[in-house]
Amino acid sequence: TEEKPAQETEHKGEEAEEEEEEEELTFEQLGLDPRLIRALNKKDISITKPTPIQRVAIPLILEGKDVVARAKTGSGKTLAYLLPLVQKLFAISGSNRKLAPSAFILVPSGELCQQVHKEFSSLIDSCKVQLKAVQLTTKMPDPDLRTALAGLPDIVVSTPACVAKCLSAGVLQSSSINDSLEILVLDEADLLLSFGYENDLKALTAFLPRRCQCLLMSATSSADVDKLKKLILHNPYILTLPEVE
Ligand code: ADP
Ligand code: MG
C-alpha cells in the first residue's frame, strides 16, 4: 500500500510575509469549482473570502490527503470540509456513481447532525447539482432509516451510534461501505470519544477501505483526538491554527 508523506504543516504565523500572501488567497485560487463559489455568494450572508483554516485545509482535501484540522470554534471548519467534499462528489457522480453513500460525516449529537445536514443541503441546492444528503439519527425507527438509505444518498450525516445501529440491524451493509465509501469526516472529533462513541466508531472503521480519505476536525487537541487519529487516519497532514486569529 502506498505511504503518504509524513508532513506536519504547522501554521503558527511565524513567517509574516507568507502569511500576508495567504491572506489574499481567494476561494478560486484554492481550486474551488466556480459553481461552489457562486453558491457561497448567494448565501444570506455572502461568503467571499476563505477563513485561515479554509485556506490551508481546502487545497489538501481536494488533493485527497488525510487531514487533521484543529482550529477554535467559529473558525469555519464546516465549510473547510464541506466545500472540497462536495467538489469531489461532483467528480464521482454520473457514471461512477455507486449505490451506497460515498461520504459519511459523523458528529457527536443528533442536533449537530441536523445543523451540518442543513448546511450541506443549502449548498447543494444553490449549486443545482444532483447530489443528495440524508441525516440518520438514533431517534429514527429502523424503517425510516431504511427509507432514507433506499433514496441512494451520496452523503450520510449521522452519529457513530446510529451508524453502528444501522450496521447491526442490517439496514446498512458493511460490504457496501467497503465498496463505496470515499470520504469519512469526523467533525467535533474532540467530543466523539468523551461522548462514549469509541466502540461504535470501531464498528465502522473495521470496514473502512484503505482508499477512504479521512478528515478529522476539532476545536482542541487532546489525548482523545490523538487516539482517533491513530484509529482512523494514515499519516495525515496536521493543521493547527493558533487560538487567536
Ligand atoms: P466551526 O465549525 O469552526 O466552529 P463553523 O463552520 O460552524 O465553525 O462556522 C462558523 C460561522 O462562520 C458560520 O456561521 C459560517 O457560516 C461562518 N463562515 C464560515 N466560513 C466563512 C467565511 N469564509 N466567511 C464568512 N463567514 C464564514
Ligand atoms: Mg464545527
Ligand 1 in reach of 218 Cβ (< 6 A): no
> CA angle at residue 143 from 138 to 146, to 5 degrees?
85
Q: What separation in Å is there between the alpha carbon of 38 and the centre of ligand 1?
A: 17
Give residue 81 CA to ligand 2 midpoint distance, Å.
Answer: 10
pLDDT at 96: 65
Helices (H), ranges, the chain: 16-24, 34-42, 52-62, 77-92, 110-127, 142-150, 160-168, 174-180, 189-192, 198-205, 223-232
Query: Which numbered ligand comes closest to the C-alpha of 26?
Result: 1
Q: What is the pLDDT of residue 12?
A: 45
Q: How much is the pLDDT for 1?
A: 42
The CA 116 to ligand 2 mean position distance, Å, reads 9
The ligand whose atoms approach the alpha carbon of 74 most closely is 1
Query: Measured in angstroms, how far is the CA atom of residue 189 from the centroid of ligand 2?
Result: 9
Pocket test for ligand 1, best of 58, 79, 245 (most atoms within 8 A of CB): 79
The segments of the chain whose pLDDT lies below 70 read 1-23, 43-45, 93-97, 243-245
pLDDT at position 113 is 97
**Which DSSP letter does residue 94 get?**
S
Ligand 1 atom 24: the closest Cα is on which residue?
Answer: 47
- Does the Cβ of 77 fall within 6 Å of ligand 1? yes
List pLDDT tens digits, range 181-221: 999 999 999 898 888 898 999 888 888 998 899 999 999 87
Q: What is the DSSP letter of 9?
A: E
Which pLDDT tens digit goes with each residue over 108-124? 999 999 999 999 999 99
What's the 191 CA to ligand 2 centre distance in angstroms? 11
Query: What ligand 1 atom has the least distance to the C-alpha of 73?
Result: 4
ipTM of the complex: 0.99
Task: Kindly report the protein residue whose alpha carbon is nearest to atom 18 of ligand 1.
Answer: 76
Closest residue (by CA) to atom 17 of ligand 1?
A: 76
| Distances 165 to 115, 168, 197, 200 between C-alpha atoms, Å | 21, 5, 12, 8
- pLDDT reported for residue 157: 98
User: Amino acid identity, residue 97?
Assistant: R
Residue 179 CB neighbours (<10 A):
13
pTM recorded for the entire structure? 0.88
Residue 44 is predicted with a pLDDT of: 65
